[in-house]
């Protein structure tokens, strides 16, 4: 495990281009590039100069991104699942039936390279259960708020697989990966530059 300092710049004053930085320190087993394959990490990273300013949001969105990153790292480190970019996705993922509302879709490999799809829609758990039951899908609903956790936890995270890989979903359902989030701190831009170099003022 390695300690990582995650940084999320945010505009304290957009007109004046005044940036501050939210930050959290966590333990992670993999390089940041492995986690960053998850398509819905935006405006967060481990090096300030690699985070485009045009995707920086406000105070609340920066905190939300850091919480999302923490949940993602916890899930990946505990389960051995890993996300793929769309370009990396093999054809086998095309056999997985999708939900009718495939919001925030990402492609994954399970702990033994099983093809998985994660969908995280703004749909209630009750409505999702109705669709899943009616269509007899192989699925796993992740503990609330899942990974994406959009709108303060209004999304639901659903892992889908082919029926042949339903055993993988059962295996994942027995892993307790969701844990309390570390406190988010706020720094000036210059303080955050020193923080990224391992120094705190």
Residues 86 and 163 in one domain: yes
Residues 6 and 31 in one domain: yes
Residue 174 confidence (pLDDT): 97
Residues 89 and 75 in one domain: no
Number of domains in the chain: 2
- Phi, psi of 69, rounded to the nearest 5 degrees: -65, -40
Structural domain range at position 155: 82-173
Closest to 20 (Cα-Cα) out of 58, 74, 54, 75: 58
Q: Does the pLDDT of residue 198 top 60, yes or no?
A: no
For residue 201, is it within any domain? no
Residues 93 and 52 in one domain: no
- Using pLDDT thresholds of 50, 70 and 90, give the confidence band for residue 196: low
For residue 132, is it within any domain? yes
Q: Give the whole-angstrom CA distance, residue 186 versus residue 21.
A: 6
52-110 residue pLDDT tens: 999 999 999 999 999 999 999 999 999 999 999 888 888 889 999 999 999 999 999 99
Q: Give the whole-angstrom CA distance, residue 58 versus residue 34.
A: 26
Residues 6+ apart with CB under 8 A from 164: none
What is the CA angle 109-110-114, rounded to 5? 75
Residues 160 and 96 in one domain: yes
């Amino acid at each position: 495990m390695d300690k990582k300092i995650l940084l999320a710049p945010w505009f304290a004053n957009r007109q004046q281009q005044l940036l501050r930085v939210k930050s959290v320190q966590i333990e992670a087993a993999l390089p940041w590039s492995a986690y960053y394959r998850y398509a819905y990490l935006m405006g967060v990273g481990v090096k300030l100069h690699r985070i485009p300013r045009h995707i920086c949001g406000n105070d609340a969105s920066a905190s939300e991104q850091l919480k999302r990153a923490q949940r993602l790292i916890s899930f990946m480190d505990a389960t051995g699942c890993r996300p793929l970019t769309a370009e990396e996705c093999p054809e086998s993922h095309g056999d997985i039936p999708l939900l009718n509302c495939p919001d925030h879709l990402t492609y994954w490999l399970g702990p033994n390279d099983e093809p998985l799809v994660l969908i995280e829609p703004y749909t209630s758990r009750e409505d999702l259960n109705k669709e899943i039951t009616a269509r007899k899908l192989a699925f796993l609903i992740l503990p609330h708020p899942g990974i994406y956790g959009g709108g303060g936890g209004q999304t639901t995270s659903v892992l889908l697989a082919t029926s042949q890989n339903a055993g993988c979903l059962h295996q994942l359902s027995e892993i307790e990966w969701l844990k309390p989030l570390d406190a988010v701190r706020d720094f000036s831009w210059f303080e955050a530059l020193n923080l990224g170099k391992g120094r705190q003022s």
